[in-house]
Homo-oligomer: A and B are copies of this chain.
Amino acid sequence: MKGNVIVGQSGGPTAVINSSLAGVYRAAIDRGAKKVYGMRYGIQGLLDEQYIDLSKYIKSDLDVEILKRTPSSFLGTCRFKLPDIHEGGEIYERIFEILEKLDIECFIYIGGNDSMDTIKKLSDYALISGKPQKFMGVPKTIDNDLAVTDHTPGFGSAAKYIATSTKEIIRDGLGFSYKKKMITVIEIMGRNAGWLTGASALSRGEDCDGPDLIYLPELPFDTEKFMSRLKKLLEKKDVITVAVSEGIRTKDGTYVSELGSSVDYVDAFGHKQLSGTASYLASLISQEIGCKSRAVEFSTLQRSAAHIASRVDVDEAFVVGGEAVKAAEGGDSGKMVVINRYSNDPYQCSFDIYDVHRIANDERLVPREWISKDGTDVTDEFIDYVRPLIQGDSPSVMVGGIPRHLFIPVKTKREKAEKGE
């Protein structure tokens, strides 16, 4: 490799997005890149010339390992959509000016659908303008809703966290079951795609029944049917656990979370948060059935619990990062690394690249045939698909009893002012 590499992270973070970053860094260094730059806060930060020389922060092989185990986006993230090329000439000129200044050969962007749109536009612009830089996408999202790739790095670790925590919560509930009935409603991320909510079924085994009912956002939610199912279940069982997606909607498209919640706040991107689905249902159960109920939200922990990341996921995230560098060095541009699966058992997959122009901006949902007929569970096919992705552990490097993370020291405004920055 003759030039330098720049890498950025975009969209919501995952437990393993930094493993991809480590993969990019390692592959770039191994292939002789002189410098590996990291964009702070994705393309948005880059436009303000916010970037760092990664070798100043990754100083050893140990640092690479710690980076692989550091959750959230090490570099910072953004949600920034590039304008269409014919409308945003100035922004593109600005970006390429910076890339040229930094002698960038490969531009790697780790993200979801929006990030692949960025890769598409930048590679198109380079083609049109005769620029030499190559642009490659690295997939990531806990939601597993990216098209073309068999699955997305980040999903396996979130699924492992969800399966483990669901199992721990079910067991917690069983302890209280004497002469008492109790229903626990667990709320899981996934606005439109039910992959994460379905992963709660992986808690099922000889030592755990798993959730009694699972509701994915792919199918309309019927509150009355839900209540009558619960009443029927209570005739057989005292302790019932329900897993619901934050995004379940009634037949007319109303989010269940909007039916009762009075708490109103927005997430980092200004989206109205869909929390409150489980709270609402637990409250409804308590009113209509009269038994004890409780709501548990996995919230942000689903995407940040690196301490229980899946080894398969950490390793794959690392590999896809490296594959992107290899492809860019080989002359590919405007493409995304994808994972193809050959076999569930033994789990075998290979890595390939795919033209981002051919990826429709679609969310990949759980296929109807992987949801049980009555819409309250996932099938064995679903479980066979997810199971290999949650295998193996990636133990944290523990310091002072808690996981160590790699970090970029943040200067406060006061510190900056004191130093005249």
**Which of A84-92, A166-174, A352-360, A369-377 lies on the face that meets chain B?**
A166-174
User: Which residues of chain A from 27 to 75 have any CB-CB distance to chain B below 8 Å in the complex?
Assistant: 40-41, 44-45, 50, 70-73
A235 neighbours in B (Cβ, 8 Å): 413
**Which of A101-109, A261-269, A324-332 lies on the face that meets chain B?**
A261-269
Q: Does A379 contact B (CB under 8 A)?
A: no
Q: Mark A383-401, 1 if CB is under 8 A from B, else 0.
A: 0000100111101001111
Task: Determine whether the beta carbon of B266 is less than 8 Å from that of A286.
Answer: yes
Write the nearest CB–CB distance from A382 to chain B, whole angstroms. 14
Q: Which residue of B lies closest to A40 (CB)?
A: B178
Task: Determine whether the beta carbon of A404 is less than 8 Å from that of B207.
Answer: yes
Q: Does A282 contact B (CB under 8 A)?
A: yes
Residue from the list B292, B294, B306, B307 in contact with A270, Cβ < 8 A: B292
Task: Determine whether the beta carbon of B41 is less than 8 Å from that of A300.
Answer: no
Write the nearest CB–CB distance from A368 to chain B, whole angstroms. 26
Q: Which residue of B lies closest to A391 (CB)?
A: B401
Rounded to whole angstroms, the CA-CA distance of A34 and B240 in the bound complex is 37
Task: Determine whether the beta carbon of A310 is less than 8 Å from that of B172.
Answer: no
A-B contact pairs, 20 of them (CB 8 A): A13-B172, A41-B177, A72-B172, A76-B175, A165-B305, A168-B304, A169-B300, A169-B304, A171-B304, A172-B303, A202-B401, A205-B402, A208-B407, A264-B286, A265-B279, A266-B292, A275-B279, A297-B299, A301-B301, A390-B402
Given contact pairs A169-B300, A273-B294, a sample of 5 additional A-B residue pairs in the complex whose CB atoms are under 8 Å apart: A50-B178, A169-B301, A182-B268, A296-B300, A387-B400
